[in-house]
Structure 1
């Protein structure tokens, strides 16, 4: 009986040890999201909104999480048939003056703006038939990154760093 009691005590205590729940898992919520992902927007023409200026906006099919990132690139040309992506915000210095592309986003949508120091309607090639590439990056992939880091990276660097499959360009 003396040998049986320690074994019984060990068995009972091991049941409690292995049945305990790790509270760290309670902080994570499984969310069905559409990213990391890449979306192309072709033949985009800005509309002139009296209060916002030249703008294009789009809603996401599903809301992002509050802490996630959106990075937007404008196709500025091609090189041997390959698109050249220019991250916005970006200022172009033209003969007519300065033209600025900028954007903002919420968890539900994004907007791209074109503004400048001159009447943008005089340069329709910069506000009509534009191509943009929108990259959605979950914050969990950027544990050691911040928005400033993302704004310094090229399209290729972001795709590589966050292991985003850009062979499957999506549409919203």
Structure 2
């Protein structure tokens, strides 16, 4: 029995003393505080003067792997805004496209534009004084394509919750 206890004591001493020595390689560099953000832009007008395509400048710039989501406020429900994700399409009774909202982005701005036939005939309630929210999610937060596919990006509140976005820190933007 003394031999077994002595063996355990020796093995324990070797194990604990082997923790000394040079440190291993440094871990990967952090992401410099990049977090998902939400921006709001009010009073967006779609007119022939801006070719139904207002441009919203962004600061900070958008990274090449970032995901940009654009939502339009489509009224309220009990005082709470209702958000619809772009693209958002409206059809005529015969099934043809009447008009829709769509978006694209560069590293410096977001373009929100209307598609359709006669955009000048679209009711002003859909063309004037619109409010949009732009959500930027850094690429490293979306993880693998497999995990990104599990997110319901069409639901604004779900996106805000999933990426821990603090709406009280939302920044207001102006149309260019």
| Aligned mate of 2:54, from 53, 56, 66 | 56
TM-score with structure 2 setting the length: 0.73
Distance in 2 between residues matched to 1:48 and 1:31, nearest whole Å: 42
Q: Encode CA deviations 1:126-160: one digit per residue, 9 max, x unaligned.
A: 121111111111122211444x6657430011011
List alignment gaps of at least 5 residues for structure 2.
1-16
Quote how far apart the aligned CAs of 1:29 are: 5.9
Structure 1 residues 150 and 111: CA distance shift in structure 2, 3 A: farther
| Cα distance in structure 1, aligned partners of 2:87 and 2:152 | 9
Q: 1:15 aligns with which of 21, 30, 44?
A: 21
- Counterparts of residues 83-122 of structure 1 (less than 5 Å): 83-94=81-92, 98-116=98-116, 118-122=117-121
How many residues end up aligned between the 2 structures? Answer: 153
Between structure 1 and structure 2, the one with the greater Rg is 2
Rounded Cα–Cα distance in structure 1 between residues aligned with 2:33 and 2:125: 38
Q: RMSD of the TM alignment (CA)?
A: 2.9
| 2:75 equivalent in structure 1 | 77
- 8 Å CA contact retained: 1:38, 1:169: yes
After TM superposition, the structure 1 = structure 2 runs for residues 22-61 of structure 1, keeping only pairs within 5 Å, are 22=26, 24-25=27-28, 28=29, 30-31=31-32, 33=34, 35-48=35-48, 53-61=51-59
Q: Kindly indicate which of the two structures has a greater share of residues assigned to strand.
A: 1
1:158 and 2:159 matched? yes
